[in-house]
Structure 1
Amino acid sequence: MSALVLTLRNAPAQRVDAGALNPTALAGLSVADIAALTLQIGKRTVRVDEVFTLEGDDTADLVFRGDCGKFERIGAGMKSGRVTVEGNAGAYVGQGMLGGTIAISGNAGAFCATGMKGGRIEVAGDVAEFAGGAIPGEMKGMAGGLLLVGGNAGERLGDRMRRGQILVSGNAGDYCGARMIAGTIAVAGTVGAYPGYLMKRGTLIVNSLPTQMLPGMVDCGPHRLGFLSLLYASWKGLPGAFGALDASACTVRRYMGDMGVVGRGELLVRA
């Protein structure tokens, strides 16, 4: 068996819900069955083989080729298997994902990993706003798993994050970790204004102070935190800035908050 490769014929002008094209949803289907599935593009309903050419037959190893920036919910709800996007992906990548791996060689749209409970998402480029965050109407965003970002992250990274880990090798926008309930976010580059806004619990790890701090983040001074050595060791070998961290370098300046909501979250600035 070889990977099932979906090569985009022509980039659509409107957004497309690709949530039905993932290893879990396609399990047990023949290539002919998959080709006959339908996708909604605006007001039109089209067959999959009108949008993609299909090669291979392994539905557990799915590859999208071409600029899929208009395709939303890639890998949504998948429980196992692998999805590779050779190019950009649209919004809601891995929404509600339970397991498996998604790898994107380009950028991903807004709300990447929203509702994710398990598995791993790797984005080589940038992610837009609300990565790992809650979509409107939901009380929590990412709830487990690992999101790796090789580039930069937009505003509201990890908004209402409930569990899991987000590692960003580039920069993060304003309000990183806003309304965070639990979990871990680490940013190797710079962080925008007001990280930890209305944060209740969880951990933000950064390399430098943000452009503007919240008044509700209280400076608790320098600390050597042993749990960081275990955390860094667990990241060893990961792609990006965090896979080569010195596990013994666990001295940080610790800020607690957001005291505006009597929060017990922490912002750790690496020494």
Structure 2
Amino acid sequence: MSGFTLTLKAEPALRLDLRGITPAALAAMDAAAVAKQPVGHGNGLVPLAEFFAVAPRSDDTLVLQGELSRCDFIGWQMDGGTLIAEGSVGDYAGGAMKAGMLTVKGSAADLAACEMAGGTLTIEGHVGAFAASTLPGSMDGMRGGTLVVRGNAGARFGDRMRRGTALIFGDAGDFLASRMVAGTIALAGRAGAHVGYGMRRGSLVFAGAEPTVSATFVPAVAGAPVFWQLLSRDLARHGGAFGSLATRGIDRHLGDVAAGGKGELIVVR
């Protein structure tokens, strides 16, 4: 296997669709073949070399350099390897990702990690709306893997999330974990309005500011000390506000009962 550094020559006039530009897909190619790979530009296809300078690397990593905010679908359906985007990226980063490690050293726009099924996606900056959620028209959101957002998250984070773990080190927008089916979301900062709206199952952990809990969530009568020890230790490995969770107490709220839900809001004391 071989890696490549792809350096954006200039900001494209139209948005670029980088589906298919993944470490595994390029691993068996030489630089000339990579340069010929088609990418979407507006409603047409053009060779990758029209926009990116291609240079081989001594390791197996695929690195994207430059101002990538008009580059969508980075890491789309990625199924292994390591991809690093050294700047902010467009929509659908890590969408439908199956395996591997994708790191965005800036911010990501909307629908990052939508329908993600495996691997690890780390976003060092902020993320837009509908991260870890569904593709338009789909019923299931994030389905596995780990999403780490070091900054803030937009509205509808984790909408219809079904599986996996997502951590937000900053604040989250409105409708956090709306219609959540299962999985775990942990928040270190403040949450917007309507937390857990329509939530059916899953765990939403508040390690920082206490959220406004809807009247459609009821206080839990029974404790969950064994479950909390397991969950808190798993989250603690990410550090920051999550590092001390195992030593702190919790209050639990169950719901959303308006949707017949059995999810839980875990407020760390």
TM-score tier (shorter): over 0.9
Matched, 1:245 2:248: no
Q: How does 1:198-209 map to 2 (within 5 A)?
A: 198-206=198-206, 207-209=208-210
Map of 1:131-150 to 2, 5 A cutoff? 131-150=131-150
Contact 2:84 2:102 in 1 (8 A): yes
Which residue number in structure 1 is paired with residue 262 of structure 2?
A: 264
Where in structure 1 are there 5+ consecutive unaligned residues?
A: none
Shift of 1:205: 0.5
Judge conservation of contact 2:3–2:27 (CA < 8 Å) in 1.
no
Same amino acid, percent of matched pairs? 38
Residues 201 and 237 of structure 1: CA distance in aligned 2, closer, same or farther (over 3 Å): closer
Per the alignment, do residues 135 and 240 of structure 1 end up closer, same or farther by CA in structure 2, a change over 3 Å counting? farther
1:240–1:26 distance in 2 versus 1, CA, 3 Å: farther
What amino acid sits opposite 1:268 in the alignment? I
After TM superposition, give the deviation of residue 221 of structure 1 in Å.
6.3
Give matches, 1:20-99, under 5 Å.
20-57=20-57, 60-99=60-99
Classify the secondary structure of the residue corresponding to 1:247: helix
Distance between the aligned counterparts of 2:60 and 2:20, measured in 1? 13
Contact 1:60 1:80 in 2 (8 A): no
Change (3 A) 1:199 1:151: same
- Equivalent residue, structure 2, for 1:254: 252
Give 2:120's aligned residue. Answer: 120
| Length, aligned pairs only | 268
CA RMSD of aligned residues (A): 1.9
Q: State how far apart, in whole Å, the 2-side matches of 1:29 and 1:235 are.
A: 38
Superposition pairs for residues 89-238 of structure 1, below 5 Å? 89-206=89-206, 207-210=208-211, 212-220=212-220, 223=223, 225-238=225-238
List per-residue Cα deviations over 1:52-96 (Å, max 9, x = no partner): 111115684100001111111111111110010100011111111
The whole-number CA distance in structure 2 between the counterparts of 1:170 and 1:185 is: 13
Q: Does structure 2 retain, via aligned residues, the 8 Å contact 1:178–1:198?
A: yes
The Cα shift of 1:254 comes to: 0.9
Is contact 2:2–2:27 with CA below 8 Å preserved after alignment? no
**TM-score, normalised by the number of residues in structure 1:** 0.93
- Does the 8 Å contact 2:2/2:28 carry over to 1? no
- Which 5+ residue runs of structure 2 have no aligned equivalent? none
User: Partners of 1:222 and 1:129 in 2: how far apart?
Assistant: 35
Q: What is the distance in 2 between the residues matched to 1:129 and 1:213?
A: 21
Shift of the alpha carbon at 1:245? 2.4
